[in-house]
Amino acid sequence: MSARQRADASIQAGPAELISGPVVTRADLNAALNCARPVRRASIGALLTESGTVDEADVRDALKMQSQRPDSRLGEVLVAAGKITEDQLYQALGDQLGVPYVRLGNFDVEPAALAILPQDLARERRVLPLMLNEGRLVLATDDPTDSATLSALRFRAQRPIEAVLASPSDLEAAIAAHYPPFDDAVLLQEAERLRQARAESSELGSPERMALEKPIVRLVNNLLLNAVKRRVSDVHLLAGEHHATARYRIDGSLVLVGEFSAALVPAIIARVKVLASMDMTERRLPQDGAIRMDTPHGPVDMRVSIIPAIYGESVVIRILDQSVGLRRLADIGFDKSGEQRMRALLNRNQGLMLVTGPTGSGKTTTLYAALQEFNTGEYQIVTVEDPVEYRLEGIVQSAVQTALGCGFAQALRHVLRHDPDIILIGEIRDAETAKIAIESALTGHFVFSTLHTNSAAQTITRLLEIGVQPYLVSATLAGVLAQRLARRNCIHCRKPEVVTAEVRELLGIGSDEQFWRGAGCAECLDTGYRGRVAVYELLQMSPAQRELIHAQATYDQIESQAVKDGMTRLTSQALSLARAGTISLDEVLRVRID
């Protein structure tokens, strides 16, 4: 049946016989394709309101937020504000476009369809072949209106293409599930044959030569490109005695994504060194480097660390994807009250603002979000970092050169002669850096920095402990944000959480309160978590706090006063998220501050 015949049939059948709602199987999709859906001319806001997903006030608020971010779409703003889920948005988009919306989590993909398009092309174009229908290749995409992509795929497949709609996160997970991060076994076998041939010929420097061979090049490229697409923060390559593993850090947890022969490790690491402009022949000393890779999402910076280990070198690649890691203040995860208090601090024209927490708690992301509030061209903004993580237009960014004797303290002395209005110091590591940061804030600059402490109140006592005078702390410190990153429950497999009496007593929660956690499914790679949310406590300096600092009060006294001044403790804020079902109680226990 042609598309015109299906459309005529749908008109004759009437709306009652149209397939509605998300499609989850091949049989349902076949039925949906043979019963064409009418295109809805209404706006996405009107469709969501009509379905009862949001009300008119939600749409008006989202339109106001969209006016402040012209590049964003209304649906994206509603998702970011927590008014709708991505799944609800794409159901509405399917209705608007007259295209079936498919949930890919448990979809029974037809192997013959997968074989038609090479996986490199499917990854590059962000599509997933689902099935064959009357000679047409049916594939899932997050943009069925992209005629250029569909035309290119039609030429490659040499058959008609029919596009159906899937959400971006759903599509990424499904592509990762149906296409392994490495090439298939043939590629690995080819790499192993090359290695054996090099070994048998006793050629010196064979890893360096193999690093230029096609199987190794594709292996490393696939590993890194797939990591970018899955929004991975770090890639780990670890050699064992008999085999090596590749793992991705996703939402703070390491996930095994591949295994290969340990004998291939030298060639793979040599390829990484080529990309990172490192010395390929040096295997005894640690090395640091950087990679800038062009991807379908745009250029992505990567930071590479290689250290020698007992079975070969170990590699960790930090992925600094601006499209994922660089956010605006409104996207960090503050509630309405927290964002208002944070903006009140940023409205000052001088002082010291500190963000604290352990490694991997999102401190740099928050600092850059704050910097972007000032990046309007009115201020001279200078950063001193180790290293520079995200590149921003309109900001002077510099990296410390410790090996050359130019650390944070030395670099800051030069920065102060660079006429800055706002200074970002990557980290306060010692008393000298703290003193210069304080002096900079005292002389009319707004200074942002990080400190490794557990809580907001503890940050004040730490500054006093490292030798900063109480009168300087009270005169310059504007506020302290202590934060952690908690893993969000997967909305696709969330179920009631079993909570023991001991945990309820420890956290002070009632016996009748219900909490939730992810059970694990294909959508979240069986982890139960998908994405992360900031959990924080924000201490604002007040006259009462300054008096306590002058009196060198204890940690408990400072924290008690902060709560009186309006600070919500981090543990309490985490519990609020758990009560809303956003995170599990396990995550509350993991991020809480005792």
Asked if residue 496 has pLDDT above 70, the reply is yes
* Per-residue pLDDT at 575: 93
Confidence band, pLDDT 50/70/90 cuts, at residue 478: very high
SS (H, E, C) 390-423: CCCCCCEEEECEHHHCECHHHHHHHHCCCCCCEE
* Residue that wins the pLDDT comparison between 399 and 448: 448
Residue 534: how many CA atoms within 13 Å on its side-chain side?
Answer: 27
- Average pLDDT on 473-478 reads 91
- Gap between the Cα atoms of 282 and 261, Å rounded: 22
- Gap between the Cα atoms of 282 and 274, Å rounded: 12
Closest of 43, 164, 60, 178 to residue 102, by C-alpha: 164
Q: What are phi and psi of 354, to 5 degrees?
A: -115, 140
DSSP 179: S
Q: How far is CA 248 from CA 291, 304, 453, 487, in A?
A: 17, 14, 27, 16
Candidate from 20-34, 290-304, 400-414, 565-579 with smallest mean pLDDT = 400-414
DSSP 15: G
- Average pLDDT on 366-387 reads 84
Map out the domains of the chain with their CATH numbers: 3-178 (3.30.300.160), 185-323 (3.30.450.90), 326-485+532-570 (3.40.50.300)
* pLDDT tens for each residue of 58-75: 888 888 877 776 667 787
- Average pLDDT on 319-341 reads 74
* Residue that wins the pLDDT comparison between 406 and 276: 276
Do residues 183 and 218 lie in contact, with contact meaning Cβ atoms separated by under 8 Å? yes
Reading the block at residue 101, the tokens are 């919306």
- Average pLDDT on 188-211 reads 61
The single residue listed with the structure tokens 């012209």 is: 70
Secondary structure element (H or E) that encloses residue 484, with its range: strand 477-489
* Per-residue pLDDT at 456: 92
* Per-residue pLDDT at 3: 39
Strand, helix or coil for residue 280: coil
* Per-residue pLDDT at 11: 33
* Per-residue pLDDT at 344: 85
Secondary structure element (H or E) that encloses residue 465, with its range: helix 456-465
* Residue that wins the pLDDT comparison between 378 and 10: 378
Largest CA distance in the chain: 84
Neighbouring C-beta atoms of residue 544, cutoff 10 Å: 12
Asked if residue 191 has pLDDT above 90, the reply is no
Q: Is 67 exposed, middle or buried (0-12, 13-18, 19+ CB in 10 A)?
A: exposed
* pLDDT tens for each residue of 14-66: 333 444 578 888 888 888 888 766 777 778 888 888 888 888 888 888 888 77
Candidate from 135-144, 365-374, 456-465 with smallest mean pLDDT = 365-374
* Residue that wins the pLDDT comparison between 436 and 79: 436
Reading the block at residue 120, the tokens are 């490199």
* Per-residue pLDDT at 585: 92
Confidence band, pLDDT 50/70/90 cuts, at residue 323: low
Question: pLDDT over 70 for what percent of the chain?
Answer: 87
* Per-residue pLDDT at 47: 83
Strands 243-250 and 234-239, bridge-based pairing: antiparallel
Confidence band, pLDDT 50/70/90 cuts, at residue 583: very high
- The answer, yes or no, to whether the previous bond of 160 is cis (omega within 30 of 0) is no
* pLDDT tens for each residue of 213-249: 767 777 788 888 888 877 888 999 998 888 888 999 8
Asked if residue 542 has pLDDT above 50, the reply is yes
Strands 422-425 and 396-399, bridge-based pairing: unpaired
CA 66 to chain centre: 22
* Per-residue pLDDT at 398: 85
Paired residues of 298 in beta bridges: 295
Asked if residue 4 has pLDDT above 60, the reply is no
- Average pLDDT on 414-426 reads 85
* Per-residue pLDDT at 12: 37
* pLDDT tens for each residue of 79-100: 767 788 878 888 888 888 888 9
Q: How far is CA 138 from CA 148, 159, 390, 442, in A?
A: 16, 10, 39, 64
* Per-residue pLDDT at 297: 65
